[in-house]
Structure formats: C-alpha cells, structure tokens
C-alpha cells in the first residue's frame, strides 16, 4: 500500500487541508529568517500571497532566554511588526510562557 500525503518533521499529514494561518517557531533569528524565506518561496511556487500587513513577530521569553531581543524580520521586503501580544480565533498569545490563565 502506497503512502500518500507529506511529512512535516516527524508528523505525517495524510489529508488535504486548507489553512490561512502559519506559525513559524525558532529560537534563533537566523533560523527565523530562513523559515520566512522558505514560506515566501513555497507561496510563490504554489501561487498564493502571504499577507505582510497581517504578519507579526511575537518574541517569547523562556527560562533559558530571560530578555527579549528585538530583531527585524521582513516578508516580501516589508518589515514584520514586532508585537508583545497576538490574538487569533479568540486565543491570546503573549511574550511570556505561563501555565496559568490571566
């Protein structure tokens, strides 16, 4: 039996889906820039446009990284807005990781 679909990391995606949101996660600015470039390349290949005005960079403080270092990222040559909080589908994300609800 042939396997169909694709793999993202070690996660097999066997069904077709359409999503309008993408999250890129990285601990290093250079890796983040590479991931953004890959997303742009794939979007161009598949002939759709990412939304620069809706794109945000949310810096997260972890136990290993106590301070937020502001980095400037670009998508299609436009600066991505740095933000402390982001809300999508009613879920609020902030720059700190917490196990308790606010």
Q: Residue 26 falls within a domain, yes or no?
A: yes
Q: Residue 13 falls within a domain, yes or no?
A: no
Q: Residue 8 falls within a domain, yes or no?
A: no
> Taking 50 as the threshold, does the pLDDT of residue 101 lie above it?
no
Q: What is the pLDDT of residue 54?
A: 82
> Taking 80 as the threshold, does the pLDDT of residue 27 lie above it?
no
Asked if residue 83 lies in contact with residue 53, where contact means CB atoms within 8 angstroms, the answer is no
Q: What is the pLDDT of residue 58?
A: 83
Tell me which residue range forms the domain holding 68: 22-94
Q: Residue 99 falls within a domain, yes or no?
A: no
Q: What is the pLDDT of residue 18?
A: 55
> Taking 50 as the threshold, does the pLDDT of residue 1 lie above it?
no
Q: Residue 57 falls within a domain, yes or no?
A: yes
The count of structural domains within the chain is 1
Q: Residue 82 falls within a domain, yes or no?
A: yes
Judge if pTM exceeds 0.95.
no
Judged by phi (left if over 0) then psi (alpha if -120 to 50, else beta), residue 39 lies in alpha
């Amino acid at each position: 039996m042939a396997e169909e679909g694709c793999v993202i990391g070690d996660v097999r995606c066997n069904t077709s889906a359409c999503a309008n949101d993408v999250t890129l996660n990285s601990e290093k600015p250079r890796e983040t820039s590479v991931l953004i470039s890959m997303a742009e390349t794939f979007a161009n290949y598949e002939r759709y446009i990412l939304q620069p005005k809706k794109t945000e960079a949310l810096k997260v403080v972890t136990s290993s990284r106590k301070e937020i270092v502001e980095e400037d990222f670009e998508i299609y040559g436009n600066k991505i807005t740095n933000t402390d909080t982001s809300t999508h589908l009613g879920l609020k994300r902030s720059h700190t990781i917490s196990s308790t609800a606010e």
